[in-house]
Amino acid sequence: MSESFDWNYPGLDWSHFHSLANLLSLRNGGQAEPSSISDTVLEEDWEPDGNEDGATPSMDTRLADQISDSGHGRLKRKFLDCLAEFAANKKGGTAVACSAMKEAEGNVVIWIARNEGFSEVDKPAFDKLGEVLGSLSCNSANQSETLLWEDMVSYHQNRIEHSYIPNLRVSFKAYDAVRRRNDTNTPENSSASDATLSALRTLLFDRNINGTSTLEKHMRLVIASYNLRRTRNMEEALYSSPSATSRSKSLWLDICLLARLRVAFHNFKDIALTLPSFEHVTIILVPRPLAPANPSQKPLNLNQTFGLLQLDLGPATTKAVLGQNWTVAKIEREFAKRQKQKPHVHAEVQMLMSLNTNEASTSGLFPYFGCSKLCCFMCNRFIQSYGRFTTRGCHGRLFKPWTVPSVGRLLPGQADRTAKALILVQKEVKKKLKASVEGYIPHERTSVIGGSSILGGRQEERSQRQLQIDRLRMKAERDRVAEMFRRQTEDTASPTRLTYSTPEGDEPEWDCDICMRPTTRRCNICSKGYFCSDSCQEKRSGRHLFTCSKRPLTSADYLWESLAKDLMPQDEDVLEDFGFNNVLSGGDRSNLLGVYGGLYLSGKFSPEDIHEWRVGGILVDKIKEFYYAIPENCRGQYFPWLLKNLYVLERPMTKDEAQQKMIATFYDKAKPYLDIEDRDKTARELKPEARGASYALLAETLLRITPNPVETNWYSFGFVTCRGQGEESMLVDLYQLLLTESDGSFFYEFHNRRRGVVQPATFTQFWKAYEAGTLIQLMDSKGLKELRSRLPFLEGFLSVPPAGPRPSVWDLKQFLEIGEPMEHPPIPSVNVDYGFINCRTFEETCILMEIYGAVLKTANPLALHQACVAGDLFQFARGYVRMEERWRSLMKNFYPLEDSGVGAGPELRSEVGPEADEDSAGSPSLLSRLWGFIGGFSN
């Protein structure tokens, strides 16, 4: 039986509700509160620094527990927001749109509402959009992508031509005028920024580029803006740097607004290719409800409205409620005008009420409304009070009179739920009005750019901000101590740069940084490096680029730095810009690095070339051009791999997107190794614990991923014993050969020639050997003794069951590798054995970390452990690092101790394993000895 909602519900009064809302809309220009982002969006967008990779990619697989809930929620939220932005193809509040979706097996139903509603010309456009998305999902065809892009730009042509382009031209002219006038080194006159902007400027002001059509010109403009939007240096130069001006910020925002259409295109394509349900897409345009009928009640005047707040109308009360700039006469005039205005039904309200009349939407609805702008204060409070749905956030403002229309044919219970939600909204409005005016709240932008809000209000609680500040302070302290040690190491260990004697009075000659010829010519940009000619200076790379004060760094520079060191890139922008986030396995990442390595080793290209190719959208073409010029039999294996996997360079993938993709597919390759009834379980759900840990390692091995040092598996499976990324990669090879069958690749062919054709261990054999501490014997039985013997500390480590005991030096090494003493402090045995218990300040903790880090770069870890047991840590470290006497007290421990005859409890047993020599083989850790002395355990 259907129901109806109207304003006669007990506790609701049309005049009271709208009078109070209209009064609040006059305070502070309608800014009722600072802007905010929903908790869901905050959780998704919070990105602490650093979780990147080494020679083989590393991932914190604790996230694997999310795999059972891999419903692509974030992708759906982004899709709905982008779809609402796409539907808003006109400027202004009338075009604000809202979207919702319901997903079933093999089909998706999508609803779109818009403030002004839709006309007859809109329906064919969205019918076609649904068809193209379905075609793209079924066929993954490039033709569908092209058609989707053309249709999207065509639908927005009017806004591009009459809003985006004029605004962008005005911003460019203002920006250029300031740049010409200003001679100082600001973003406006930065030659690098100007060069990067030149492509967009040309497209924008040249009205007859090669006779191209208007649609083609618009497509090129949007793509050029999108490429600029993704350039971090441009964002910093124009918007976020302290020297950015109002002109440069305005230009950046206009670029981002135009780029939104391309952001939406990539999101549409991603969701169609990711979710099988998009094979059939139905888009329903929500009809705009009829204008609300005029209420029978007479509107309240200002005095009556103040009476609802139990306040007397007067000068003091008016200023308290509305602010110091209001007088009674002024507020009476403005309030009377507002009371006569026709109320509006916003898109979010249209959507909610429409869904409440639709039987098909009673279940399966995705609990999120996509919005083309942040919600207004009233819509936000109404949706929150109603429950069930969230949005991207709220800009905190009230606009023209807001209302909910009378609606019939509601589903059972929805009229009551709607009325109760409105009562809660009215209470919130009264609460806002009665609260003391805290001062001016800046007006917030209502628009959003590319899925992230431009907000001026608080987005996080103070505790979160304080935590981040503490992190930054501690990182700065660690960096300071590290720099002190670096300088000290350079003073004592680095070779002196070669200089050449010259006649007295002449400037000494130095080696050219590129060709090593003697020269006195310095870098003409920063005067800090030596280059014998302009040609050599153009080839500058490596450390020099990171000290060259006037050369803006790009992600290509960081890529070049990684190639020079022959290491997998770790910079977040490199991973996104150059396709590394698009591949999951370590082997594929190595192949991609090899492709760029060919460019680097040729010596023909500079980071500037690579950056220009990427920004210009011609990176793939230039790579092909280079490799096709090489005889086919000399191209190696990396370029053929790229030709089969060109998708990796089609569209950059952010760290979040890569992580979500990893979570969704992490166990896919490992599932067949389990019994059928266990294949839907995560590692933590498998019992016993050794089986679950082995399953997680198997999944990582199949993806060629090294465990992250924060993981237990990085320690338990022996990665902690490896001396650098090269040995960690070798250990991954070892586990891959032990657990997997040959796929005919060169990797297996090379290793199997040495060990013969051997069947891999079964998963059950593997996890039981791990649990029993017999992995070494299992490796040897599979012909892997020669390979595992290259890792000198592995045998002693893996010959002990996971629970130990092992020398505490391995715990020290894990603590240093994690490198986050605030979030991951040293465990008790490390704290006591290696002197961290003596540290009274964070600086002293950092000093010890630097000392042990420097020592372990070259020293035998077990030798360091023996020095610990002997109570001689300071003297031992002196053999590897120039020590200061004041550090001696930090490195004191209570070793050597006489045997007290007191046993250790199970959780504090000896940490000295078979790797140590006979003198210390029976020594319990210092922590257990101390515990015994103070009566912790007794026999």
pLDDT attached to residue 292: 64
Q: Residue 399 has which token pair?
A: 């606009």
Residues 304, 473: Cα–Cα separation, whole Å: 55
Q: Strand pairing partners for 37? A: 393
pLDDT attached to residue 11: 85
pLDDT attached to residue 483: 76
> 394 near 380, Cβ under 8 Å?
yes
Q: Is residue 502 pLDDT above 70, yes or no?
A: no
Strand stretches in 676-745, DSSP E: 706-707
Highest averaged pLDDT of the listed ranges 79-88, 298-307, 458-467, 836-845:
79-88
Q: Residue 394 has which token pair?
A: 């709220």
This prediction's pTM: 0.50
Neighbours of 746 (CB within 10 A): 8
Q: Of 25, 19, 27, which Cα lies nearest the Cα of 323?
A: 27
Q: Is residue 492 pLDDT above 60, yes or no?
A: no
pLDDT, tens only, 596-609? 988 988 888 888 88
Q: Is residue 915 pLDDT above 60, yes or no?
A: no
Poorest-pLDDT segment among 192-201, 775-784, 803-812, 853-862: 192-201
910: confidence class by pLDDT, cuts 50, 70, 90: very low
Residue ranges covered by each domain of the chain? 3-47+69-117+286-434, 136-180+193-284, 551-647, 656-804, 815-890
Q: Is residue 63 pLDDT above 60, yes or no?
A: no
Q: Residue 531 has which token pair?
A: 């280059």
Rounded to 10°, the helix 246-274/214-229 angle is 100
Highest averaged pLDDT of the listed ranges 40-54, 191-205, 421-435:
421-435
Q: Of 370, 347, 368, 404, which Cα lies nearest the Cα of 93?
A: 347
pLDDT attached to residue 552: 66
Q: Is residue 248 pLDDT above 70, yes or no?
A: yes
> 9 near 415, Cβ under 8 Å?
yes
- Return the H-helix or E-strand segment holding 713: helix 712-716
Residues 892, 152: Cα–Cα separation, whole Å: 69
Q: Is residue 504 pLDDT above 60, yes or no?
A: no
Q: Is residue 756 pLDDT above 80, yes or no?
A: no
> 21 near 377, Cβ under 8 Å?
no
> 351 near 331, Cβ under 8 Å?
no
Q: Is residue 62 pLDDT above 50, yes or no?
A: no
Amino acid at 776: I
pLDDT attached to residue 666: 76
Q: What is the mean pLDDT of the chain?
A: 79
CA angle 157, 162, 164 (to 5 degrees): 80
- Return the H-helix or E-strand segment holding 137: helix 122-139
3-class secondary structure, 638: helix
Q: Is residue 71 pLDDT above 60, yes or no?
A: no
Q: Is residue 65 pLDDT above 80, yes or no?
A: no
Q: Strand pairing partners for 394? A: 36, 375
> 587 near 594, Cβ under 8 Å?
no
pLDDT attached to residue 383: 93
456: confidence class by pLDDT, cuts 50, 70, 90: very low
Q: Strand pairing partners for 103? A: 108
pLDDT, tens only, 681-696? 878 888 899 999 999 9
Q: Is residue 701 pLDDT above 80, yes or no?
A: yes
Q: Is residue 48 pLDDT above 60, yes or no?
A: no
pLDDT, tens only, 565-578? 778 888 888 888 89
Q: Is residue 496 pLDDT above 50, yes or no?
A: no
Q: Who's near 222: CB < 8 A, 6+ residues apart?
A: 153, 160, 258, 259, 261, 262
pLDDT attached to residue 422: 94
3-class secondary structure, 410: strand
Residues 239, 244: Cα–Cα separation, whole Å: 5
Residues 670, 321: Cα–Cα separation, whole Å: 64
> 302 near 331, Cβ under 8 Å?
yes
Residues 79, 137: Cα–Cα separation, whole Å: 15
283: confidence class by pLDDT, cuts 50, 70, 90: very high
pLDDT attached to residue 868: 93
Residues 389, 445: Cα–Cα separation, whole Å: 23
Q: How many CA atoms lie within 13 A of 585 on its CB side?
A: 15
pLDDT attached to residue 714: 93
913: confidence class by pLDDT, cuts 50, 70, 90: very low
Q: Residue 213 has which token pair?
A: 């059509």
pLDDT attached to residue 926: 42
Amino acid at 341: Q
Q: Residue 855 has which token pair?
A: 């020592």
Poorest-pLDDT segment among 47-61, 223-237, 313-327, 807-821: 47-61
Strand stretches in 105-154, DSSP E: 107-114
Residues 168, 151: Cα–Cα separation, whole Å: 23
- Residue in the structure block whose two tokens are 């959009």: 129
Q: Residue 376 has which token pair?
A: 């207004």
pLDDT attached to residue 527: 72
Q: What is the mean pLDDT of residues 372-387?
A: 92
Q: Who's near 99: CB < 8 A, 6+ residues apart?
A: 80, 81, 83, 84, 87, 110, 111, 112, 113, 351, 369, 370, 371
Q: Residue 10 has which token pair?
A: 């007990």
What does the DSSP assignment read for 169-204?
HHHHHHHHHHHHH--SSSGGG-HHHHHHHHHHHHHH
Neighbours of 104 (CB within 10 A): 12
Amino acid at 911: E
Q: How many CA atoms lie within 13 A of 211 on its CB side?
A: 0
508: confidence class by pLDDT, cuts 50, 70, 90: low
pLDDT, tens only, 232-243? 778 878 887 777
Residues 446, 376: Cα–Cα separation, whole Å: 8
Q: Residue 888 has which token pair?
A: 């001696």
pLDDT attached to residue 834: 92
Q: What is the mean pLDDT of residues 768-776?
A: 93
What does the DSSP assignment read for 17-40?
HHHHHHHHHHGGGGB-S--EE-HH
Q: Of 702, 920, 916, which Cα lies nearest the Cα of 793?
A: 916
Q: Strand pairing partners for 36? A: 394
pLDDT attached to residue 551: 54
Q: Strand pairing partners for 453? A: 448
Poorest-pLDDT segment among 111-120, 164-173, 343-352, 677-686: 677-686
Q: Is residue 57 pLDDT above 80, yes or no?
A: no
Q: Is residue 721 pLDDT above 60, yes or no?
A: yes
pLDDT attached to residue 176: 83
What does the DSSP assignment read for 762-794?
PHHHHHHHHHHT-HHHHHHHTT-HHHHTTSTTH
Residues 244, 596: Cα–Cα separation, whole Å: 34
Q: Who's near 676: CB < 8 A, 6+ residues apart?
A: none
- Per the omega criterion (within 30 degrees of 0), is the bond before 688 cis? yes
Poorest-pLDDT segment among 235-239, 709-713, 813-817: 235-239
Highest averaged pLDDT of the listed ranges 387-391, 436-440, 676-680, 744-748:
387-391
> 120 near 90, Cβ under 8 Å?
no
Residues 77, 70: Cα–Cα separation, whole Å: 14
Residues 490, 539: Cα–Cα separation, whole Å: 25
pLDDT, tens only, 315-334? 888 888 887 778 888 899 99
pLDDT attached to residue 410: 87
